[in-house]
Amino acid sequence: MLMHDERKALLELIAAKSFRLGDFTLASGKKSDYYIDCRITTLDAEGGRLSGLILADLIRTYAPEAEGVGGLTMGADPLVSNTASATAWWHLSHPQSPLVHGFLVRKQEKTHGTGRRVEGFVKENAPVVIVDDVCTTGGSTVTAIEAAKAAGMNVVAVMCLVDRQQGGRETIEAAAPGAKFVNVFTAEDVRAIKLSQAKSA
């Protein structure tokens, strides 16, 4: 696992584009003096490239057996697409490296069409990685874990782009015993860079 330059560049992008100070109510209902909207970064062309490269590298390091990568719509959507694409680009120059296919978990089952909860890659007993952009209490990540399990897949790792370190990791580890939990950054990492950027502006 290398990507030192890529990690630094992505951290600076998240701080510049996605981190805001103020009074916010989070999806969990908790109050916070800051908000991180990672989608602004993960949907950015360069942010998307970097997030995909880094997560694909983490999958090769911590879950090399993974066949799929997925998460709960819509925070995880760009991460899933970016990561799956990054594994395909890597595969071109490293043919022995496996492709990791994407899947998305709906918040609720469809009431029309196929009625599927999981869209994209679904394979019985396949080892998969769940990704999320921001982990606070872990609720949305656990929803994705449970849906992947219900679809017959085996969650071997959970990766969070930014961990707010507010109990999410413990909740996630309880929902996926034995799965590796990996965060790319903590919220404090992002805050520190944001404050540094503000001072130098």
Cβ neighbours around 201 below 10 Å, total: 5
| CA–CA dist 102, 69 (Å, integer) | 5
Annotated binding-site residue? 94: no
Annotated binding-site residue? 31: no
Annotated binding-site residue? 81: no
Annotated binding-site residue? 129: no
Structure-token pair, residue 197: 């950027």
Annotated binding-site residue? 136: yes
Helix axes 77-93, 45-62, angle to 10 degrees: 70
Apex 125 CA angle, 90 and 2, nearest 5? 30
Annotated binding-site residue? 140: yes
Annotated binding-site residue? 41: no
Annotated binding-site residue? 141: no
On whether the CB atoms of residues 55 and 102 are closer than 8 A, the answer is no
Q: Is 120 exposed, middle or buried (0-12, 13-18, 19+ CB in 10 A)?
A: middle
Annotated binding-site residue? 112: yes
DSSP H stretches of helix in the chain: 4-17, 39-42, 45-62, 77-93, 139-150, 168-175, 187-200
On whether the CB atoms of residues 38 and 185 are closer than 8 A, the answer is no
Annotated binding-site residue? 149: no
Q: Which residues are annotated as a binding site?
A: 106-107, 110, 112, 132-140, 164
Q: Which residues are annotated as a binding site for 5-phospho-alpha-D-ribose 1-diphosphate?
A: 106-107, 110, 112, 132-140
Q: Which residues are annotated as a binding site for orotate?
A: 136, 164
